[in-house]
Amino acid sequence: MNSPPWWQEAVFYQIYPRSFASSNASGVGNLEGIREHLDDLVWLGVDALWISPFYRSPMADFGYDVSDYCDVDPLFGDLAGFDALLDEAHQRGLRVIIDWVPNHTSNEHPWFLDARSGPDARHRNFYVWRNGKGDNTEPPNNWVSAFDPGQPAWKFVADDRLENGGQWYLHLFDPAQPDLNWDEPAVEQAHHDILRFWLDRGVDGFRADVIHCIAKDPALPDDPVGSAGIPHCALNDVEAVHPRLRRLRSLLDSYPGDRMMLGEVYLFSTEAVATYYGTGDELHLAFNFPPLYAPWRADKWRQVIEATSSAFDPRGAWPTWVLSNHDNPRHRQRYDDQASHHGEDEATRHRRSMARARAAAVLLLTLRGTPFLYQGEELGLLDAVIDSGRRVDPGGRDGCRHPIPWTAGEDHGWPGEPWLPHAPEAERQNVESLKADEGSILHLYRRLLDLRRRFPELRRGSFTLLDSPPGTLSFRRSLDHEKAVIDIRINFGGEPVVVPLEAGAPEWILLASGSQGSGTRFPGVLGPDEAVLLGALA
């Protein structure tokens, strides 16, 4: 049997470089900090890293506003430092994909500085310029920006040389992130060159930021009336994106070594997301966010799992699973916020919320598809509580971007005051303390990653939902016509549940997220918020 490509079997780990680790006292993480911690990631057992942007940037969107795609921001290091990091990761068997931000540049990118200098500028058509409505005082259409749905996705630039006094440029995100015009062939060409620059340096692929937005309806029609307040980027889905993706795929395929592209397709329809795989000739993987937004409830998870299989399987598209990232509250925080805490003391609340985070780790790492971990979820961290005076993100996402606590000591391994405050509980939920505790969530993630290595059924086995009592979810991963079977059973509720096993179902606990011991026979009861992996072998 042919082995599946590496990106189907890998577990990815997202590094948000500002907050991962710092080798200096700047309070901001850097590439050297990542390099210094590669062995921690190998110890954990992940296979691939996705590194969020480290390019030159004025940091209006913390690196997602790029002013030079082919250089490292001095805050993070330099190109030689990147090469060293990539080399050392590869030596350890870790693949590395990097973020690529094709939809927009920084307003300080030389292309935009030139483009805004006037209507005849060489790069004018690199961006989307239009006249406004009426007497040019109203934006060209009703699209709203992703960071502030009360604001148009357009900004006016006055220019006396123009008959009507100026033009508007499109920005689906911050005004400091003008959208590129991919209908201009020179834009596509320039971006292909950027990808080649990094492919030649040896990266294994890219995470393509809001990739579905690189094509827009050239008529720029108003968004439908019922969509008020929904950012245009979440609605934008036009056919013209697909030939562009196919050309990107050909570019990647022209390189040796299985280079890949993972697209952020920020659409809320799983059906629509599935189309971005084409017929195996577009994206290798796409993020599918409905599961990230699903609450900690068995019925909701059953729904998103079924929706994913029915949209993805007929196309042979390989799903991805994500619970947390740098744009959303951490899942331990979300699941804790959703639960009722009536009459609960702090210790009980902590225990329950950790139990959910532990069961969620089992879910994430046993579904069929490629899982993505967000730095710090293996530490069971909550979001940082940030005073209004320290909030910096235009999209209000600071809470999940706190620094990673490496040590138990007061600075948690950060030599300078970090750019954002630490997460609550950092004094116990830090790498040093959790490594020393075999029962910790960090060790649970490590054991799950180890089980994935040992049991191919977890990586590439078929997936079947099993009957399961209300409030629980059970599914089977199996290979070779059920010769190798692992059943996963998860309780999404705060009370123990009796889970009867089907005749012949595996009943030996390979791992339990709660208190049941590995290597024992499953007694037919799941503890509160407990997940188990059951195998046939004692």
- The set of catalytic residues is 209, 264
CA–CA distance from 435 to each of 40, 375, 406, 440, 446 (Å)? 10, 15, 10, 8, 10
CA distances from 454 to 229, 447, 457 (A): 47, 10, 9
Q: Which residues contact 289 (CB under 8 A, 6 or more apart)?
A: 266, 268, 322
d(Cα 369, Cα 7) in Å, to the nearest integer? 10
Q: Which of residues 343-372 bind ligand GLC (CB under 6 A)?
A: none
Strand 525-526 and strand 497-498: pairing? antiparallel
Indicate whether 173 belongs to the interface with ligand GLC (CB under 6 A): yes
C-beta of 191 vs 459, nearer to ligand GLC: 191
Comparing CB distances to ligand GLC, the nearer of 68 and 87 is 68
Q: Where are the beta strands (DSSP E) in 483-526?
A: 484-491, 497-498, 508-512, 525-526
Distance CA 331, CA 360 (A): 9
- Minimum Å gap between C-beta 210 and ligand GLC is 5
**Binder of ligand GLC out of 68, 313, 327, 411 (CB under 6 A):** 327
- Dist. CA 382–CA 424, nearest whole Å: 7
The residue whose Cβ lies closest to ligand GLC is 64
The count of C-alpha atoms lying within 13 angstroms of the C-alpha of 401, restricted to the half-sphere facing its C-beta, is 23
Instruction: Between 30 and 105, name the residue whose CB sits nearer to ligand GLC.
Output: 105
Size of the site for ligand GLC (CB under 6 A): 11
What the block records as the tokens of 145 is 């920006």
52/308 with CB nearer ligand GLC: 52
175: which 2 tokens?
């005004």
Residue 101 within binding range of ligand GLC, rule CB under 6 A: yes
Nearer to ligand GLC, 65 or 529 (CB): 65
Q: How far is the CB of 245 from ligand GLC (least distance, A)?
A: 17
Q: Judge residue 99's burial from the number of C-beta atoms within 10 Å of its C-beta, 0-12 exposed, 13-18 middle, 19 or more buried.
A: buried
Least distance CB 521 / ligand GLC (angstroms): 45
Nearer to ligand GLC, 29 or 528 (CB): 29
Find the binding residues for ligand GLC in span 444-503 (CB under 6 A).
Answer: none
Name the residue among 460, 462, 478, 475 with its Cα closest to residue 8: 460
| Distance of closest approach, residue 81 Cβ to ligand GLC, in angstroms | 23
Whole-number Å distance between alpha carbons of 261 and 281: 11
Residue choice 64, 82, 112, 129 for contact with ligand GLC (CB under 6 A): 64
Q: Closest approach of Cβ 75 to ligand GLC, in Å?
A: 17
Out of 61, 336, 398, 457, the only residue in the binding site for ligand GLC (CB under 6 A) is 61
Compare residues 44 and 210 and give the one whose CB is closer to ligand GLC.
210
d(CA 339, CA 360): 14
Should residue 148 be labelled a site residue for ligand GLC when binding is judged by CB under 6 A?
A: no
Of the two residues 116 and 326, which places its CB atom closer to ligand GLC in the complex? 326
- Residue 41: which of 76, 10, 3, 73 has the closest Cα? 10
What does the per-residue mask of binding to ligand GLC show for 177-216, with x meaning CB under 6 A?
--------------------------------xx------
Structure tokens at 184: 């201009």
Contact call for residues 352 and 494 (beta carbons, < 8 A)? yes
Instruction: Indicate the residue type of 210.
Output: V
Site string for ligand GLC, 386-405 (x = CB under 6 A): ---------x----------
Does 143 contact ligand GLC by CB under 6 A? no
Which of 61, 529 has the CB closer to ligand GLC?
61
Radius of gyration for the alpha carbons in the chain, expressed in angstroms and rounded:
24
* Residues between 297 and 326 that touch ligand GLC (CB under 6 A): 326
Q: How many CB atoms lie within 10 A of CB 505?
A: 16
Least Å distance between CB 177 and ligand GLC? Answer: 6
Contacts of 410 (CB under 8 A, 6+ apart): none
From residue 462, how far is each of 58, 63, 371, 484 by CA, in Å? Answer: 46, 39, 16, 10
CB of 183 to ligand GLC, least distance (A): 20
Contact footprint for ligand GLC (CB under 6 A): 61, 64, 101, 173, 209-210, 264, 266, 326-327, 395
